[in-house]
């Protein structure tokens, strides 16, 4: 397999109509992923810039088709674009409902949702439904099977003397017997090792600068060792 480390965003992968595009306008500052089939449009981790990136590629009508948003965790580089995306959908008069899936304990999404619905309740044109994910049970949306799985992402504690766990998920999307495994942000963990293995595409973070920070993110070697168990892989969140 060719070395996927040297790469230029956006990253694109498709098999027939199963398509995924990973934006990262400013590497390590914002993630944004769109996943589509002929009948579905999902967004995963809408970081800052997602609306601008989508607008470059998609018509307003296509953006209005977004039915489901999946959040791996609440860090700003993964949720920074939620507010503007929700606003845009209302300004453009979206009618169909929008589902947002996020890990239990992710206060960022609940806070954004509460503030957003409070501010715009009188003019919101569509219904937003929050879905807290509490376990690894699979569910299906628009013929895509979604398997959430817990990963191990941490952040420095308030006093910077230790680290605390961040509610975090990865997702495996399976459609027409093809699968895409997205690990979100995580240290090396067994659940991701298991889920990435045999996937048609694995999207694996390699955010650790060095061995010392591998409690928070994966080193490039760790990420590659997981990625290589999939048929193809992309490394993301790579320090520049
Ligand atoms: Zn993170």
Q: Across residues 67-79, what is the average pLDDT?
A: 96
Return the pLDDT at 71.
98
Position 170 pLDDT exceeds 50: yes
CA angle 17, 20, 21 (to 5 degrees): 135
pLDDT band at 6 (very low <50, low <70, confident <90, very high): low
Rounded distance from Cα 217 to ligand 1 centre (Å): 8
Compute the distance between CA of residue 121 and CA of residue 124 in angstroms, rounded to an integer: 5
Rounded distance from Cα 19 to ligand 1 centre (Å): 24
CB atoms within 10 A of CB 118: 8
Answering whether pTM is above 0.75, one says yes
Domain 11-236 -> CATH class: alpha beta
pLDDT band at 213 (very low <50, low <70, confident <90, very high): confident
Return the pLDDT at 27.
61
For residue range 117-158, what is the model confidence (pLDDT) as tens digits? 999 999 999 999 999 999 999 999 999 999 999 999 999 999
Q: Tell me how far CA of residue 105 lies from CA of 26, 109, 144, 196, 201, in angstroms.
A: 27, 9, 25, 25, 28
- Of 1-5, 7-11, 95-99, the one with minimum mean pLDDT is 1-5
Report the mean per-residue pLDDT for the chain.
Answer: 93
Return the pLDDT at 30.
78
Return the pLDDT at 7.
67
Rounded distance from Cα 125 to ligand 1 centre (Å): 31
Rounded distance from Cα 155 to ligand 1 centre (Å): 8
Q: Return the CA Rg of the chain.
A: 17
Rounded distance from Cα 61 to ligand 1 centre (Å): 31
Return the pLDDT at 25.
67
* Domain regions of the chain by residue span: 11-236
Rounded distance from Cα 227 to ligand 1 centre (Å): 19
Return the pLDDT at 1.
44
Rounded distance from Cα 16 to ligand 1 centre (Å): 31
Return the pLDDT at 216.
86
Rounded distance from Cα 185 to ligand 1 centre (Å): 5
* DSSP secondary structure letters along 59-105: -HHHHHT--EEE-S---HHHHTTHHHHHHHHHHTT--S-EEEEEETT
Rounded distance from Cα 22 to ligand 1 centre (Å): 16
């Amino acid at each position: 397999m060719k070395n996927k480390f040297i790469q230029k965003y956006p990253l694109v992968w498709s098999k027939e109509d199963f398509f995924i595009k990973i934006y990262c306008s400013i590497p390590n500052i914002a993630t944004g992923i769109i996943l589509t089939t002929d009948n579905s449009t999902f967004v995963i981790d809408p970081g800052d810039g997602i609306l601008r990136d989508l607008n470059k590629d998609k018509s307003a009508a296509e953006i209005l088709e977004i039915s489901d948003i999946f959040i791996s965790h609440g860090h700003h580089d993964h949720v920074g674009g939620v507010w503007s995306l929700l606003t845009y959908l209302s300004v453009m008069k979206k009618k169909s409902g929008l589902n947002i899936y996020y890990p239990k304990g992710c206060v960022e999404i609940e806070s954004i949702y509460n503030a957003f619905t409070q501010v715009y309740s009188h003019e919101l044109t569509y219904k937003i439904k929050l879905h807290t994910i509490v376990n690894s049970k699979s569910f299906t949306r628009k013929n895509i099977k979604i398997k959430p799985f817990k990963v191990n992402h941490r952040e420095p504690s308030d006093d910077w003397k230790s680290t605390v766990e961040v509610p975090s998920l990865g997702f495996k999307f399976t459609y027409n017997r093809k699968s895409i495994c997205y690990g979100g942000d995580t240290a090396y963990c067994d659940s991701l090792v298991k889920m990435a293995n045999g996937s048609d595409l694995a999207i694996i973070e390699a955010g650790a600068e060095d061995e010392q920070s591998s409690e928070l993110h994966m080193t490039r070697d760790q990420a590659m060792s997981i990625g290589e168990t999939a048929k193809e892989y992309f490394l993301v969140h790579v320090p520049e």
